[in-house]
């Protein structure tokens, strides 16, 4: 979709960074399942076998893809904040940064969430040593003690994982991020990708037989409220964490 920085095939033009960036683009566009060494080589104007000079294999490549998208979150603990801002401000900022990554790469984020990190004691989605070092330093330099910083790391990880995985799974489905209570499309013709009108969907009683609550609440369930819920839950989390540090 984006203007391709790929297809650079003159001798010596290949390197690991280019391969990984192209892989990220490919996954963003087509999903992980469609990424093969052969297709990625093609995208780069090169035979698949050439890639093995730079990556140890497909698994190594996927790990590199995960690390690549998460580097956007690797920030100075005091950048744009100042140490006076408190650990709450830092967590707010980092939460939104990770959220931006997830929404920018919805097809990559499940990998961020589920692949084994570099060290067994790291937890997704903050999965690189330097990111976690930054995280701990930011908290501790703002007066949080060691044990509490570690607790916060875990609670924060679980929060991000749950909300962001829910958000990207909602992206894969309902394209409309419900702004009004419900979109009124009474007489508008629904069309498919080719512009042809779709056949009328059967009414809820037929689609969901014997499931009265779902029949009634389907429109409400279909609304994408992930953005609001993220903010609310983040506030609630920070309030809860404040009880930990005296």
CB 152 within 8 A of CB 241: yes
The reply to whether 62 sits near DNA by the rule CB under 7 A is no
The reply to whether 35 sits near DNA by the rule CB under 7 A is yes
Q: Please, what is the minimum distance in Å from the beta carbon of residue 73 to a copy of itself?
A: 17
The reply to whether 12 sits near DNA by the rule CB under 7 A is yes
- Name residues whose C-beta falls within 8 Å of residue 34's C-beta, 6 or more positions apart in sequence: 26
E strand segments, the chain: none
Which residues in the 145-174 window bind a copy of itself by CB under 8 A? Answer: 146-147, 149-151, 153-155, 157-163, 165-166, 169-170, 172-174
CA–CA separation, 205 and 214 (whole Å): 10
Q: Which is nearer to a copy of itself, 76 or 218 (CB)?
A: 218
Q: Which is nearer to DNA, 9 or 239 (CB)?
A: 9
The angle, 0 to 180 degrees and rounded to 10, between the axes of the packed helices 226-242 and 146-171 is 170
Cα distances (angstroms) measured from residue 142 to each of 50, 104, 133, 246 = 48, 30, 14, 13
The reply to whether 177 sits near a copy of itself by the rule CB under 8 A is no
Burial of 106 (0-12, 13-18, 19+ CB in 10 A): middle
As given in the structure block, the two tokens for residue 173 are 């489905």
- Name residues whose C-beta falls within 8 Å of residue 180's C-beta, 6 or more positions apart in sequence: none
Report how many helices (DSSP H) and strands (DSSP E) the chain contains, helices first. 10, 0
Cα distances (angstroms) measured from residue 136 to each of 15, 77, 113, 126, 147 = 33, 9, 20, 11, 10
The reply to whether 65 sits near DNA by the rule CB under 7 A is no
CA–CA separation, 29 and 6 (whole Å): 14
Q: Please, what is the minimum distance in Å from the beta carbon of residue 225 to DNA?
A: 35
Q: Which is nearer to DNA, 35 or 170 (CB)?
A: 35
The reply to whether 154 sits near DNA by the rule CB under 7 A is no
As given in the structure block, the two tokens for residue 174 are 């309902």
Q: Which of 15, 76, 205, 218 binds a copy of itself (CB under 8 A)?
A: 218
The reply to whether 30 sits near DNA by the rule CB under 7 A is no
The listed partner (a copy of itself, DNA, none) that binds 169, CB under 5 to 8 Å by sort, is a copy of itself
Q: How many residues bind a copy of itself (CB under 8 A)?
A: 55
The reply to whether 46 sits near a copy of itself by the rule CB under 8 A is no
Q: Which positions touch a copy of itself (CB under 8 A)?
A: 110, 113-114, 116-117, 120-124, 129-130, 132-133, 136-137, 140, 146-147, 149-151, 153-155, 157-163, 165-166, 169-170, 172-174, 208, 211-214, 216-218, 220-222, 225, 229, 233, 236, 240
Q: Which positions touch DNA (CB under 7 A)?
A: 9, 11-14, 35-39, 41, 46-50, 52-53, 57-59
């Amino acid at each position: 979709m984006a203007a391709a920085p790929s297809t650079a095939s003159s001798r010596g033009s290949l390197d690991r960074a280019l391969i990984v960036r192209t892989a990220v683009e490919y996954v963003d566009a087509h999903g992980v399942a469609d990424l093969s060494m052969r297709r990625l080589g093609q995208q780069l104007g090169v035979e698949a076998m050439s890639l093995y000079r730079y990556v140890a294999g497909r698994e190594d490549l996927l790990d590199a893809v995960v690390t690549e998208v998460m580097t956007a979150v690797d920030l100075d603990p005091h950048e744009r904040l100042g140490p006076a801002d408190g650990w709450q401000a830092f967590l707010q900022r980092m939460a939104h940064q990770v959220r931006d990554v997830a929404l920018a790469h919805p097809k990559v984020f499940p990998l961020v969430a589920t692949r084994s990190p570099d060290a067994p004691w790291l937890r997704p989605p903050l999965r690189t040593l330097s990111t976690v070092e930054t995280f701990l330093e930011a908290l501790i330099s703002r007066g949080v003690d060691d044990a509490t910083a570690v607790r916060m790391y875990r609670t924060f990880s679980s929060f991000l994982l749950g909300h962001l995985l829910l958000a990207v799974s909602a992206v894969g489905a309902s394209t409309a991020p419900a702004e009004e209570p419900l979109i009124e499309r009474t007489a508008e013709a629904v069309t498919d990708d080719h512009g042809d009108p779709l056949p009328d969907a059967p009414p809820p009683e037929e689609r969901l037989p014997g499931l009265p609550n779902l029949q009634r609440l389907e429109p409400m369930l279909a609304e994408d409220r992930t953005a609001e819920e993220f903010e609310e839950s983040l506030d609630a989390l920070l309030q809860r964490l404040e009880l930990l540090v005296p």
